[in-house]
Amino acid sequence: MKVSAEILSLVPYKPGKPISEVQREYGLSEVIKLASNENPLGPSPKALQAIHKSLTEQHRYPDPSCYDLIQKIATKWNVPATQVGIGNGSNEIIDLLIRIFCEPGDSILTTEAAFVAYKVCAQAARVKIRTVPLRPDLTMDLKAIADDFYRNPSSKTQLIFIPNPNNPTGTAVGGGEMEEFLTRLGNRDDVLLVFDEAYTEYVRDPNFKAASSFYNKYSNVIVIKTFSKVYGLAGLRLGAMLAPEFVLELYNRVRNPFNVNELAQVAGIAALDDVEYMQASQKSVWEGLDYFYKELTRLKLPYFKSEANFVLFDTQRNAELCFKNLLAKGIILRPVGNYGFPTYLRMTVGQKDENQKAIAAIEKMLSEVPKN
């Protein structure tokens, strides 16, 4: 049977190593995973209560419209319920947007070293991906993205993905540059601007401007959110989208019925009300980042200040060798050579003792892995 070249050449998304696999492989009893940008506090307590309460109803199909969750999001995020969509994680939303608005041979446009799901989903749909280089400080160049759109009309760019803050760099963009970008590309009817905001709640940069603050001023802006990070529900796979009604009408035609399970729906509703938990999540990450900055500076390892819940740092060595060395010590970090950073590792903020053990392991690793 014939399979397209795009599928045959597709490199599948490679998730971080699970704790159980590292324990088996290295015979370790304690393993610390700081590789997947997960919330170190565990799920929201209110979400757990909602899950336990709903367990006896799991013989029923979930609400296919996610009505209660959508109403809660509309209230919390101050948007009309008719402009809210729900997905099985933000990955499903990304995949469906590409399938809905792109045909084979069309393009999506984003920055280099952007979330790899854009490329995977696009290639699987026989859609081209165009990228614009990052600046030396690893921030997105919105002007260059807009320039590329105008310079290449034959590329048939349907969607522009703006991951803000970006994974794996942790950098964000805002201020006047964002305003200029929206002035040039906002309110067009031939391209959609998709702001992927998985990490917005962790941003401390006063110049940052969340897309939700300008979403209702532009007819072609979409905002993607996730419950996997600050809400601590990664295992339940829950994402949300704010979009114009015509986008939602098409989205709900294509998405599978029952794409979001009942436990994810009730947990999402409860997590949105758990303000104390969200504030604790933010505080934990901000304190952890500041600790990482201090220790990486002491170890003379360059890093990029992050507006997310992780830090990208330069080992000044072969990062794959560093990764394997740390695995043997029970520390799982994330090599990012597939993003074009062969000497860098990405380290998620964990609990305080986990952060300390990770730094201690890194310090020991530096004397065991030769410098480039």
The whole-number average pLDDT for the span 173-186 is 92
- What is the spatial order of strands in the sheet that 221-226 belongs to? 84-87, 239-242, 221-226, 192-196, 157-163, 107-111, 128-132
Does 88 score more than 90 pLDDT? yes
The whole-number average pLDDT for the span 150-176 is 94
Nearest residue to 196 (alpha-carbon basis) of 319, 112, 91: 91
- Backbone CA torsion sign across 58, 59, 64, 65: negative
Which of 15-19, 54-58, 264-268 is the least confident region?
15-19
**CA dist., res. 171 & res. 305, Å (int):** 7
What is the secondary structure of 69-110 as a DSSP string? HHHHHHHHHT--GGGEEEESHHHHHHHHHHHHH--TT-EEEE
CATH topology for the 45-274 domain:
Aspartate Aminotransferase; domain 2 (3.40.640)
Does 370 score more than 80 pLDDT? yes
pLDDT for 161 equals 98
**CA dist., res. 117 & res. 112, Å (int):** 13
> If you search the block for the tokens 């948007």, which residue do you land on?
79
Nearest residue to 37 (alpha-carbon basis) of 263, 276, 281: 281
Q: Which residue has the higher pLDDT, 212 or 353?
A: 353
Q: What percent of the chain has pLDDT over 90?
A: 88
- 27's CB contacts (< 8 A; 6+ apart) are none
From the CB of residue 74, how many other CB atoms can be counted at a distance below 10 Å? 16
pLDDT for 21 equals 82
Per-residue pLDDT band at 258 (split at 50, 70, 90): very high
Q: Which amino acid is at 84?
A: V
The whole-number average pLDDT for the span 73-91 is 96
pLDDT for 9 equals 75
**CA dist., res. 171 & res. 302, Å (int):** 15
Per-residue pLDDT band at 23 (split at 50, 70, 90): confident
Q: Which residue has the higher pLDDT, 195 or 210?
A: 195
Which residues are registered as beta bridge partners of 158? none
CA 170 to each of CA 132, 138, 197, 303, 306: distance values in angstroms, whole numbers, following the listed order: 17, 9, 12, 10, 4
Angle at the Cα of 118 from the Cα atoms of 116 and 124, rounded to 5 degrees: 105
Q: What percent of the chain has pLDDT over 70?
A: 98
pTM of the model: 0.93
pLDDT for 369 equals 95
The whole-number average pLDDT for the span 56-67 is 95
**CA dist., res. 140 & res. 136, Å (int):** 10
Q: Can you read off the two tokens belonging to residue 271?
A: 């997590």
The whole-number average pLDDT for the span 240-249 is 97
The whole-number average pLDDT for the span 273-286 is 97
**CA dist., res. 307 & res. 149, Å (int):** 27
Preceding peptide of 165 cis, ω within 30°: yes
**CA dist., res. 233 & res. 210, Å (int):** 21
pLDDT for 340 equals 92
List the domain boundaries for the chain: 5-43+276-366, 45-274
Q: Which CATH superfamily is domain 5-43+276-366 in?
A: Aspartate Aminotransferase, domain 1 (3.90.1150.10)
Per-residue pLDDT band at 35 (split at 50, 70, 90): very high
pLDDT for 46 equals 97
Per-residue pLDDT band at 13 (split at 50, 70, 90): low
The whole-number average pLDDT for the span 187-198 is 97
CA 160 to each of CA 79, 95, 107, 165, 208: distance values in angstroms, whole numbers, following the listed order: 22, 14, 9, 15, 19
Quote the mean pLDDT of the chain: 94
